[in-house]
Amino acid sequence: MSVLQEINLNVRNMKPLEYSALAKRTNKIKEELRQGVRKPYREVIDASWGDPHRLGVKPLSFVRQVLAACLYPQLMNTDKLLEDVRQRAQRLLGRCAGESVGSYTATAGIPEIVQRVSEFITKRDGGVPSYPENIYISPGSQWALTNIFNILVNPESSTRTGVLTPMPCHCTTTLSIMGLGAVAIPYYLSEEQGWALQVEELERALETAKKVCNPVALYVINPGNPAGHVQSRKSIQAVIRFVSEKRLFLLADEVYQDCIYGENSKFVSYKRVLAEMGPPLSDTVELASFHSASKGIMGECGLRGGYVELVNLDPAVMKYIYNLFSIDTCAPVLGQIALDLMANPPQPGDPSYPLYHQETQHIRTTLVQNVKRACEVLNSLPGFSCQPVEGGAFAFPRMYLPLKAIQKAKEVGMQPDTFYCMRLLEEAGVFASPGCEYGQKEGTYHIRFCIMTTQDIMEELLRRLTDFNIKFMKDFS
């Protein structure tokens, strides 16, 4: 028997992603188009990722200029860069060993960048203090999240560890939990109430889970991915009281905090709400909050820069976390630099500020318009219903599929929404993700697509989806 056949049972039990078959077919279609195969479209619109640059959003000039200067310091000897770009690059390189981004850094990250992230958090939270020693920079927020799961999961216990996980939820999180041998305990967000998180549902999920595992943590996503809901302060307070009463560790995924669209929606962090609730909660609730340079207006997904801030953890546990983060030595230096630029962008009066302000405002305006258009179009389509998108990067509409389509999907061995997405890809050249990938109530079907794109691409996506859906509903009615 091959050594590789003795693979970890937890990994073997991880189910294949519905996304995989769609991704393989997408690559095949792209190759066919390159070879001149005639199709009703000239290119595939890949809206399956939360990846703005993949969908045509341009990188911010200031960010790329500083990165370029750090990678090729000779640029700072030319007149191609503004003074504040040169100063930032010089300061960052001065903090790198050998003044090179090719060097390792401290485990938690370059100390000056960790300090800037701490200052960013303090400012964001209205003065609630953030301490650098509680912050770890990581190769993306998902990597940090998995490391914290590693601390929480006890593989030697006779009872498996459980983590309360929202449904719908990004599939990489549930796979991470399963890969560690733990149980992702589903709690369902209320679609009828705009995908709101309800404490009553947390209570139900917790009581059900106690029969099969030992629940130790609650994972929340705010703003939601893929649902797009933004929690109110009152909702966050209720969740904090719940985890305190049930003695659960709180994991707050807040990577889309910069993307808020709802007129009455406002992002407020779990850490801020916890601090403002005061003792004993502010001194006892254990919290890990996550953010990233990949999401939001920067959209630098490929640079892999995220962080986790830890609140109220025992010093003994913090030592284990340091050891765990030390395994990979440090996060990519370019990702760390991206976090520095996110935490401290150009300010009014800086030479780079006018262009930076212009570019970020254009992206924000475009996203607000994309959300409005997507919701308008989706709610006008037969068989579709879309809740308001208050924040995040995705639309996640519900589909009411004809019985014939559901039966046909079963015949070909697909989930109904995967079947819809495969036909959408083949016939319209739009790559969207099926809702079954993220968890949904039985008997409901959804698709997810990214709205962080240019207006032209969004309009073309919606046009293709509209034409396809009319034909699909007619064919299967």
Kindly tell me the burial class for residue 59, based on how many C-beta atoms sit within 10 Å of its own C-beta (0-12, 13-18, 19 or more): middle
pLDDT computed for residue 3 by the predictor: 45
Domain residue limits, the chain? 3-57+356-476, 104-343
Phi (first) and psi of residue 260, to 5 degrees: -120, 130
Q: What is the pLDDT of residue 233?
A: 97
β-bridge partners, 50: none
pLDDT tens across 327-384, in order?
A: 877 899 999 999 999 999 999 999 999 999 999 999 999 999 999 999 999 999 999 9
What is residue 154's predicted lDDT score, i.e. its pLDDT? Answer: 86
φ/ψ (deg, to 5) at 10: -60, -40
Q: Which fold has domain 3-57+356-476?
A: Aspartate Aminotransferase, domain 1 (3.90.1150)
Give the pLDDT of residue 1.
47
Cβ–Cβ contacts within 10 Å for residue 258, how many?
A: 18
pLDDT at residue 164, as a whole number? 97
Which pLDDT value is given to residue 432? Answer: 97
pLDDT of 325 reads: 85
- Fold of the 104-343 domain: Aspartate Aminotransferase; domain 2 (3.40.640)
Q: In the chain, which residues have pLDDT < 50?
A: 1, 3-4, 6-7
Q: Where are the beta strands (DSSP E) in 132-258?
A: 135-138, 161-167, 183-188, 214-221, 249-253
Longest alpha-carbon distance in the chain: 67
What pLDDT score was predicted for residue 277?
A: 98
Give yes or no on whether 3-57+356-476 and 104-343 have one common fold. Answer: no
pLDDT at 13: 56
